[in-house]
């Protein structure tokens, strides 16, 4: 996922109460007197202008839920687990600064996050230099696979997600066009998607870049209409999608729309019913996912998304590493490297799917699941 600048949906309707965007927030409900074990939590609670970030707030909820469960069960070896939360504002420059603050905090054994591709890439230069293991949550750019030995992620790479999405697009039999956001996430999703279409003999009828903040997509959409596009794949986030989909209807482009996890927030509004979305977590994907989703709804009175589930998994995975005896940054890194490998710790059974890391720190065999926006949910 990349950094969305749209901040609407549930926030605009008052369904989520954002935290004050102070620079550092310590999260813990634990009252044990033993010395705590500390993790960092790097997420965007706001953007650079102070507007709430929906994905970041949902990530906070998921991380808090995991933290409270660990501490309610006695903590880690009798020691409370705590999170030092930093708000990277979904901004690359801010991400470097907050990553540096965590790296220079000797208490921090590892970091859950970042959540966006661009901030993960920016932060990695700090974490790799300082030897801090970081478990990115919903960051999907293929670039992340090559950042270094301290960078891990729980989301499947867009190199895999795009292949699944291209297969779903081909299965509709519709002539497909591509519009992609001209930044890390968009290009990282667009390139393998187009390659997968071409390999199946179904090259897109158009393949055009755009900027998320554009106000007028009509020239693009009229071009797609002239070329007979019946399906439009949006390789970007919900900001641009919220503008271009209604404008498509205005110009008479009678096409179906599809995108990756970056447009998951469209499920909040009925206007986008029928849009196909590849998500990194679905509450009906497994019994484990359903149990998590039920608990999340009961606690927060809202639906969990991929951001919430993957943040929950990141905290639980790092807590397991500490519980299995890792007590330094290097020990946590070596633990993560061996998860799911022969002779290493068992694979991690997360609510967003099982995790066993490959040599690049990517989860082996993971990909997105594809559903359709309908009635405030994504239906498989």
> The domain that contains 256 carries what CATH number?
3.40.50.2300
Torsion of CA 145, 147, 149, 155, to 10 degrees: -40
The listed range with the strongest mean pLDDT (8-17, 182-191, 346-355) is 346-355
Work out the average pLDDT over 278-284.
96
Please state the pTM of the whole predicted model. 0.89
Q: Could you tell me if residue 17 is inside a domain?
A: no
Give the chain's mean pLDDT. Answer: 92
Q: Could you tell me if residue 91 is inside a domain?
A: yes
For the cut 50, the answer to whether the pLDDT of residue 300 exceeds it is yes
Q: Could you tell me if residue 371 is inside a domain?
A: no
Q: Could you tell me if residue 324 is inside a domain?
A: yes
Q: Could you tell me if residue 4 is inside a domain?
A: no
Q: Could you tell me if residue 170 is inside a domain?
A: yes
Last residue of a domain, one of 279, 304, 334: 279
Which residue's entry shows tokens 């870049």? Answer: 209
The predicted structure's pLDDT at residue 34: 85
Same domain, 272 and 163: yes
Same domain, 67 and 163: no
- What angle do helix axes 238-250 and 218-226 make, rounded to 10 degrees? 60
Q: Could you tell me if residue 18 is inside a domain?
A: no
Count of domains observed in the chain: 2
The predicted structure's pLDDT at residue 28: 46
Same domain, 147 and 33: yes
Cα distances (angstroms) measured from residue 201 to each of 103, 157, 164, 260: 48, 23, 16, 22
For the cut 80, the answer to whether the pLDDT of residue 14 exceeds it is no
For the cut 50, the answer to whether the pLDDT of residue 278 exceeds it is yes
Work out the average pLDDT over 291-296.
98
Q: Are 112 and 63 in contact (CB under 8 A)?
A: yes
* pLDDT grade for 268, boundaries at 50, 70 and 90: confident
Q: Are 124 and 154 in contact (CB under 8 A)?
A: no
pLDDT of 344-379, one tens digit each? 999 999 999 999 999 999 999 999 999 999 998 999
Same domain, 94 and 214: no
Range of the domain at 97: 24-156+285-366
Same domain, 228 and 147: no
């Amino acid at each position: 996922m990349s950094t969305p600048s749209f901040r609407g949906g549930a926030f605009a309707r008052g369904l989520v109460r954002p935290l004050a965007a102070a620079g550092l927030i310590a999260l813990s409900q634990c009252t044990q007197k033993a010395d705590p074990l500390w993790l960092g939590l790097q997420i965007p609670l706001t953007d650079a202008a102070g507007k709430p970030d929906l994905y970041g707030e949902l990530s906070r909820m998921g991380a808090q839920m995991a933290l409270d469960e660990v501490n309610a069960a006695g903590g880690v070896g009798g020691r409370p687990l705590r999170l030092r939360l930093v708000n990277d504002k979904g901004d690359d420059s801010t991400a470097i600064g907050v990553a540096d603050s965590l790296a220079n905090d000797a208490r921090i054994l590892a970091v859950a996050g970042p959540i966006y591709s661009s901030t993960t890439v920016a932060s990695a230069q700090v974490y790799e230099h300082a030897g801090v293991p970081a478990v990115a949550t919903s960051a999907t750019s293929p670039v992340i696979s090559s950042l270094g030995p301290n960078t891990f992620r729980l989301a499947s790479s867009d190199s895999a997600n795009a292949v699944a999405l291209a297969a779903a697009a081909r299965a509709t039999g519709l002539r497909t066009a591509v519009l992609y956001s001209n930044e890390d996430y968009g290009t990282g999703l667009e390139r393998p998607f187009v390659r997968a279409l071409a390999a199946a003999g179904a090259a897109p009828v158009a393949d055009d870049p755009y900027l998320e903040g554009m106000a007028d997509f009509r020239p693009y959409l009229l071009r797609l209409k002239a070329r007979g596009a019946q399906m439009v794949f949006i390789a970007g986030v919900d900001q641009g999608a919220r503008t271009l989909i209604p404008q498509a209807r205005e110009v008479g482009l009678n096409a179906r729309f599809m995108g990756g996890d970056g447009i998951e927030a469209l499920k909040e509004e009925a206007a986008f019913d029928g849009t196909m979305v590849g998500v990194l977590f679905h509450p009906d994907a497994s019994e484990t996912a359903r149990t998590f989703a039920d608990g999340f709804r009961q606690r927060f009175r809202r639906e969990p998304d991929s951001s919430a589930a993957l943040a929950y998994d990141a905290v639980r995975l790092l807590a397991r590493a500490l519980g299995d005896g890792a007590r330094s940054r290097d020990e946590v890194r070596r633990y993560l490297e061996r998860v799911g490998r022969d002779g290493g710790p068992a694979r991690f059974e997360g609510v967003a799917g099982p995790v066993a890391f490959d040599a690049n720190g990517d989860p082996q065999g993971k990909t997105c699941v594809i559903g359709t926006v309908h009635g405030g949910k994504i239906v498989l």
